[in-house]
């Protein structure tokens, strides 16, 4: 009888161990969180916030290790996640919100629909700003006066939006690209090397540079979003400046990624159960009181978007009319 009981315990133990293979996999492991930008910018702040809290919501409670991998406006990390990173659930990353449609506008180095989308911590409003000493104070100045705006690399938001304004609206704007991230461009702006930059998020300004607004250190020249930000109602929205229906369609493509403002993804083709576990862990983290308190302390906006919602946005963008994508490509730096 004792042998029968022992055998039953062994069977139950094996069954219990097999009941959660995801937990078995992650126990004792680390998940690397790859950040496509240099330290100090908005993507870096959000990624490190997530890294401090998400691990406890993943079965097996793995460690989360944040690592910066800047380069080419986050294209480096996108291609690494797509082609090189382990496809076992031990690597996730964050890149520019416009990066999923990079292949539609530039070169098809990856397929944005193939990433495993975990979600975005917030929606956001990108803006074009200039330093208070710049002669560029508003949209009309941007159209009529020479200016220099910073960029990170082809396909990055600051480059795409600056090029869109230059080529789509004929602004007298010079793009100075090659900066590792937003923090580097804002320093160059403060030093007078640049007039300003496009594609910086209001969430970044609120979290890292709130004095800019209260002390009137910057001019907010343009909003690049699907709707106006409540704090800057008098700043024009780029889609409202369209001069034709075809241009409006191009601008709609350009601003659509703002809804996935801080995307987190896994490489393609990781095991379905692990992807689901990561997505569920992301969603639970967004409601975690410790996470929310940490975000409040850092003055970071939390307005999450699910992975399924992001995947649907990307799917729709990939189905946009070819002629609209061609025009967007021409206006956003492909040529």
Summarize pLDDT for 74-119 with one digit per residue, the tens. Answer: 999 999 999 999 999 999 999 999 899 899 988 888 999 999 999 9
**Model confidence, pTM:** 0.81
Of these ranges, 18-27, 32-41, 55-64, the one predicted with the greatest mean pLDDT is: 55-64
Asked if 131 and 248 sit in the same domain, the reply is yes
pLDDT-derived band at 12 (thresholds 50, 70, 90) equals: very low
Asked if 103 and 172 sit in the same domain, the reply is no
Q: How far apart are CA 120 and CA 291, in angstroms?
A: 14
Domain contains 15: no
| C-beta separation of 118 from 279 below 8 A | yes
- Choosing from 257, 282, 311, the residue where a domain stops is 257
Asked if 114 and 150 sit in the same domain, the reply is no
Could you report the per-residue pLDDT of 271-317, keeping only the tens digit for each?
999 999 999 999 999 999 999 999 999 999 999 999 999 999 999 99
Q: What is the DSSP string of 99-128?
A: GGGHHHHS--SS-GGGSEEEEES----EEE
Q: How far apart are CA 223 and CA 129, in angstroms?
A: 9
Q: How far apart are CA 274 and CA 287, in angstroms?
A: 20
Task: Looking at the chain, list the stretches that DSSP marks H as alpha helix, in order from N- to C-terminal side.
Answer: 2-19, 21-26, 42-53, 75-83, 102-105, 139-144, 157-163, 169, 182-191, 202-208, 210-214, 245-255, 272-285, 289-298, 307-318, 322-331
Asked if 139 and 211 sit in the same domain, the reply is yes
Q: How far apart are CA 146 and CA 68, in angstroms?
A: 34
Q: Domain total for the chain?
A: 2
Rounded to 10 degrees, the C-alpha dihedral 273/279/281/285 comes to 180
Tokens of 109: 């180095």
pLDDT-derived band at 15 (thresholds 50, 70, 90) equals: very low
| C-beta separation of 148 from 66 below 8 A | no
Domain contains 110: yes
Asked if 58 and 93 sit in the same domain, the reply is yes
Q: How far apart are CA 67 and CA 301, in angstroms?
A: 22
Asked if 242 and 158 sit in the same domain, the reply is yes
- Bridge-based pairing of strands 63-68 and 196-201 is unpaired
| C-beta separation of 177 from 153 below 8 A | yes
């Amino acid at each position: 009888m004792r042998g029968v009981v022992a055998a039953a315990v062994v069977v139950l133990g094996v069954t219990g161990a097999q009941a959660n293979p995801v937990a078995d996999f992650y126990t004792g492991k680390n998940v690397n969180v790859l950040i496509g930008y240099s330290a100090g910018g908005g993507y870096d702040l959000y990624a490190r916030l997530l890294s401090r809290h998400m691990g406890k919501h993943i079965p097996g409670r793995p460690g989360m290790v944040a690592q910066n991998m800047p380069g080419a406006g986050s294209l480096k990390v996108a291609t690494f996640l797509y082609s090189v990173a382990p496809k076992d659930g031990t690597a996730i990353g964050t890149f520019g919100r416009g990066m999923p449609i990079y292949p539609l506008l530039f070169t098809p180095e990856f397929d944005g629909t193939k990433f495993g989308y975990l979600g975005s911590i917030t929606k956001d409003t990108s803006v074009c700003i200039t330093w208070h000493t710049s002669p560029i104070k508003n949209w009309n100045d941007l159209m009529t006066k020479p200016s220099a705006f910073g960029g990170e690399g082809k396909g990055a938001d600051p480059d795409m939006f600056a090029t869109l304004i230059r080529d789509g609206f004929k602004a007298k704007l010079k793009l100075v690209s090659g900066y590792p991230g937003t923090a580097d461009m804002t320093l160059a702006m403060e030093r007078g090397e640049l007039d300003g930059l496009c594609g910086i998020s209001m969430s970044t300004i609120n979290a890292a540079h709130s004095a800019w607004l209260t002390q009137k250190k910057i001019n907010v020249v343009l909003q690049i979003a699907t709707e106006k930000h409540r704090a800057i109602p008098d700043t024009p929205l780029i889609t409202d400046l369209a001069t034709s229906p075809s241009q409006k369609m191009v601008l709609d493509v350009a601003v659509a990624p703002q809804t996935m403002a801080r995307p987190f993804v896994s490489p393609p083709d990781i095991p379905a159960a692990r992807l689901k576990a990561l997505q569920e862990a992301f969603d639970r983290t967004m409601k975690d009181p410790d996470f929310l308190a940490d975000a409040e302390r850092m003055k970071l906006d939390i307005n999450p978007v699910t992975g399924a919602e992001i995947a649907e946005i990307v799917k729709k963008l990939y189905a946009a009319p070819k002629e609209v994508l061609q025009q967007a490509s021409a206006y956003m730096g492909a040529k």
